[in-house]
Amino acid sequence: MRSPLKKLIHSIFPLGWPRNHRERLQAVRGNLWLHVFPARVRTESLHPKATLGLGLITFYLFVILCGSGLLLMMVYTPSTALAYRDMNDLAHVVSGGRFLRNVHRWSAHLMVLFCILHLVRVFCTGAYRKPREFNWVIGVILLGLTLGLSFTGYLLPWDQLSFWAITVSANILDYVPLLGAPLRRLLLGGEEVGQAALLRFYVLHVFALPTVTFLLIAVHVWRVRKDGGLACSDPELHRENNPETVSHVLTWPHLLLRLILVLQATLIMVFFFSILWDAPLLEIANPAHPPNPSKAPWYFLGLQEMVAHSAFWGGFMIPTLLAVLLLILPYVDRNPKGAGIWFSRDRRFALGLFAFCLFTLAILTVIGLWFRGPNWAWQWPWGGSGG
């Protein structure tokens, strides 16, 4: 006779713990969540070198953000009169509130970072080649959404840092010819960052952007499977290089174990940051007292630095050109060689150009972060101005 507990467990998991090859195949095919994966995967695609787990970490960070964000919503009021008080309550009154806010804040920064690293990985392995062109385009849109999510969240604490970072970033829109000013007004709900902007950013941040991001991630991951798995496991690649290596392993347990390991690593990383560093909270937003300098969030600092040199080129032409180039990249780079291979010698030109753009953007961001002082004048991080 089965105990009621065993009966309950059996009713939830009728297949039980899979013990043999057939049951393991069945376990993946018969599970709503797992059947996004094929029952078997190519051994090559499980090697850490294949993806470095970057897309997966980005996905986990998104899930952590949704979970922690939902809890934060229970304390936060999107009002200029109450938002800052709620943030203070989180830090000093709500039990575990400070940690919760830290988890949300650091996961947001990490998601932007890992999304960029994932893009770099996909580029360096040429994994946007046929048939994955459109998945690359979805990826570029996902990067835009990730930046949008982080950017809209930045305003919500309503302190000096958030208020002026958003004001500076929104001002960059003014350099877009014709559409810039109306776009800025649409985003802010007026000329200045105020109650209307806070409410718009809140709705975008907690509902509109996460919903679209969730749907696009689902399409993105589904396409990975429909496009034949990861580029490094393309049959042609194996046939060309080493036909012996075309081997498969079962998703249960081999892929699942790796998914769990990467989840653990992601959680450890987020908790590490959240325990060691508190998310910043300066004084309450004061529209009359801009800090000098006012800096955009780190991922827009390269843009801010370019704007400081030329408003039109830095604020409009170069970012637009880069975004368009990124979107159409798989359709212009028709070199059929090197897909699925890290730093393929057949792609020296594309890799060189990409490295140059990335390096320039990194340098501009570092300058904006540490080398700019009052009035955006040059300042050494250890003190002293550059004249």
Residue 129 near ligand HEM by CB under 6 A = no
Shortest approach of ligand HEM to residue 354 CB, angstroms? Answer: 12
Residue 135 near ligand HEM by CB under 6 A = yes
Which parts of the chain fold into alpha helices (H)? 4-12, 21-29, 43-46, 48-51, 54-73, 83-92, 97-124, 133-155, 160-172, 180-188, 195-203, 209-226, 235-241, 256-276, 301-309, 311-312, 318-332, 348-370
Residue 60 near ligand HEM by CB under 6 A = no
Shortest approach of ligand HEM to residue 276 CB, angstroms? Answer: 25
Cβ contact 51:121 at 8 Å: yes
Residue whose tokens read 């804040």: 105
Residue 238 near ligand HEM by CB under 6 A = no
3-state class of 169 per DSSP? helix
Considering only residues 318 to 377 of the shown chain, the ones binding ligand HEM according to CB under 6 A are none
Distance CA 75, CA 89 (A): 8
Residue whose tokens read 């893009």: 119
Q: 41, 56, 87, 341: which one contacts ligand HEM (CB under 6 A)? A: 56
Residue 142 near ligand HEM by CB under 6 A = yes
**Choice between 143 and 173, CB closer to ligand HEM:** 143
Residue 110 near ligand HEM by CB under 6 A = no
Distance CA 24, CA 255 (A): 12
Shortest approach of ligand HEM to residue 371 CB, angstroms? Answer: 28
**Choice between 128 and 300, CB closer to ligand HEM:** 128
Binding residue count for ligand HEM, defined by CB under 6 A: 27
Distance CA 371, CA 280 (A): 20
Distance CA 32, CA 26 (A): 12
Residue 308 near ligand HEM by CB under 6 A = no
Q: 230, 281, 307, 318: which one contacts ligand HEM (CB under 6 A)? A: 230
**Choice between 137 and 308, CB closer to ligand HEM:** 137
Burial class (CB in 10 A: 0-12, 13-18, 19+), 165: buried
Interface residues with ligand HEM (CB under 6 A) are: 51, 54-56, 58-59, 62, 115, 118-119, 122, 127-128, 132, 135-136, 139-140, 142-143, 146, 217, 220-221, 224, 230-231
